[in-house]
Amino acid sequence: MSSLRSFVRHTAAGRLALIPFRLGWAWLQALKQAGRMASWAFTSKEYYNHTYHLTPLNRRYLAEFTAVVAGRPWQEIEGYCRELEEDRTLHDRLVAATLASPDRHNSDTEPRYGRRIGWYALVRALKPKVIVETGVDRGLGTVVIAAALKRNAAEGSPGRVYATDIIADCGHLFLPEYRDVGEIVLGDSVETLKKFSQPVDLFLHDSDHRPEYEWAEFLAIEHCLHPGSIVLSDNSQQSVMLAKFAEKTGRKFLYFQDQPDRHWWPGDGIGAAF
Ligand SMILES: C[S@@+](CC[C@H](N)C(=O)[O-])C[C@H]1O[C@@H](n2cnc3c(N)ncnc32)[C@H](O)[C@@H]1O
């Protein structure tokens, strides 16, 4: 046994003999991924802005990550995460809105919040008065943020979300029941941000994901930030811009990487400058 171990570890012939086994092991991973792709192609209708649940371990780490960014105990953040996951009213309204939407042919009916659970918990924990989210799309993130704001308001800490997009018919999931705590501002987000005049407690970049555009958004909103403002990016899995902005403005930077549960998509993430 020890001579076989020595053969594969310490000889060139051993290295060659291992190649078929190593290749088989790697191909097994590719086959698993191909299985997920085939299942997704027939069971999901989405082709962009993929939604997914997180693996249980990743979901736990999302709460831990959010706790660090919020400066709160993990147990408190976990409570907020569960609050969203157990909100049947929001869930059922989103299902109904998706089924009623012309978008139903490219949207999955089941709402899967993924990393947006972290956005929700952050809003619940910090009770921001003004939130700006760039990029609405269907409005899943906007409605999640608004749901947190409504709970905050019911507890005596009102706030408002301003969500920007260039597509006029965006936001069908940002339901009327949640629009009392927010609004969609149509137009190019950099132009909108330049004109914004209120102090922003929480800013979230999720629009045009070209790094230079992400950077332009950070510069455009900088005049509204205060030392306690938190800046999030939905683009940090592919761009270093928020880390650079954190450095520029004397903030710490942390990144959370999504791990989609049983989905081929490698996942997105949350960059946080705080
Ligand atoms: C990734 S989606 C937003 C996802 C959304 N935040 C969510 O939680 O599902 C990106 C959105 O940014 C919008 N967008 C792209 N370029 C933009 C720009 N220059 N200004 C404002 N919105 C823009 C797109 O129309 C699209 O709806």
Assign residue 160 the CATH number of its domain.
3.40.50.150
My answer on whether 220 and 252 are in the same domain is yes
Q: Which of 54, 52, 169 is nearest to 108 (CA)?
A: 52
My answer on whether 31 and 103 are in the same domain is no
188 lines ligand 1 (CB under 6 A): yes
My answer on whether 20 and 68 are in the same domain is no
The closest-lying atom of ligand 1 relative to the alpha carbon of residue 167 is 25
My answer on whether 131 and 234 are in the same domain is yes
My answer on whether 59 and 177 are in the same domain is yes
- Name the H helices within 52-134: 56-70, 74-85, 88-100, 116-126
Cβ atoms 183, 159 nearer than 8 A: no
My answer on whether 112 and 195 are in the same domain is yes
My answer on whether 133 and 94 are in the same domain is yes
- Tens-level pLDDT at each residue, the chain (274 residues): 689 999 999 999 999 999 999 999 999 999 999 999 999 999 999 999 999 999 999 999 999 999 999 999 999 999 999 999 999 999 999 999 999 999 999 999 999 999 999 999 999 999 999 999 999 999 999 999 999 999 999 999 999 999 999 999 999 999 999 999 999 999 999 999 999 999 999 999 999 999 999 999 999 999 999 999 999 999 999 999 999 999 999 999 999 999 999 999 999 999 999 9
Ligand 1 centroid–CA 208 distance in Å is 6
Q: Is 72 helix (H, G, I), strand (E, B) or coil?
A: coil
Q: Which of 136, 162, 195, 238 to mutate to test the pocket of ligand 1 (most atoms within 8 A of CB)?
A: 136
Say how many domains are in the chain: 2
206 lines ligand 1 (CB under 6 A): yes
Structure confidence at residue 1 (pLDDT): 67
My answer on whether 70 and 8 are in the same domain is no
My answer on whether 31 and 156 are in the same domain is no
207 lines ligand 1 (CB under 6 A): yes
Question: Residues near 168 by Cβ (< 8 Å), separated by ≥ 6?
Answer: 186
CA distance 204 to 217: 10
Burial of residue 165 (CB within 10 Å: 0-12, 13-18, 19+) is buried
CA angle 244, 163, 104 (to 5 degrees): 115
Structure confidence at residue 2 (pLDDT): 80
Is the pTM of the predicted complex or chain greater than 0.85? yes
Report how far apart, in Å, the C-alpha atoms of 218 and of each of 132, 192, 214, 233, 246 are.
Answer: 11, 12, 7, 10, 10
> Which residue segment(s) compose the domain that 27 sits in?
2-41
Structure confidence at residue 233 (pLDDT): 98
Nearest CA to ligand 1 atom 7: 141
Ligand 1 centroid–CA 205 distance in Å is 9
My answer on whether 37 and 52 are in the same domain is no
What 8-state DSSP symbol labels residue 134?
Answer: E
165 lines ligand 1 (CB under 6 A): yes
